[in-house]
Amino acid sequence: MIINGNLLLNAAPISNMNTLKQNYKGTSFGLSEAGYDIRIKQNVMLDPKNRFQLASAVEYFHMPDNLLGVVHDKSTWARRGLSVFNTVIEPGWQGYLTLELIYHGSEPFQIYGGQGIAQVLFHEISDSASYNGKYQNQEDRPIEARS
């Protein structure tokens, strides 16, 4: 079952959640109808010559042991050729989310820090679990793959 609205706010998987959908430079962020729209921290220039970039989310995650998050593209960016990898945020994980961006478009454009970049849908899981892997307590910056 997808958790949204007041149930999501009460579960508090993100610190200082915006209880209302807000807009910055043409993209929304905050509590959405089915989940939560997260923001990108860095200014990112996308162009056809550099199709893959790492960035990070503004929001700090502290996932409860009974919730799993799935990152999805925002349609505003998808319509311009940007894909945000559909990362799974494990129960019990905490830290700043690294975003993997792939650009499929043909014209350069910029995304500004603070703009909504992706939507996270939160799913309740049947058995509690707690992540304790190599990306636990991830720093407030994009993190490269760890061996």
Indicate which residues carry an active-site annotation.
100
Distance between CA atoms of residues 56 and 92, nearest Å: 19
Which residue in the block uniquely carries the two structure tokens 């993997």?
100
Radius of gyration of the chain (CA): 15
The answer to whether the CB of 60 falls within 8 A of the CB of 14 is yes
Give the HSE-up count for residue 15: Cα atoms under 13 Å, Cβ half-sphere: 11
Pairing between strand 2-3 and 116-124?
A: antiparallel
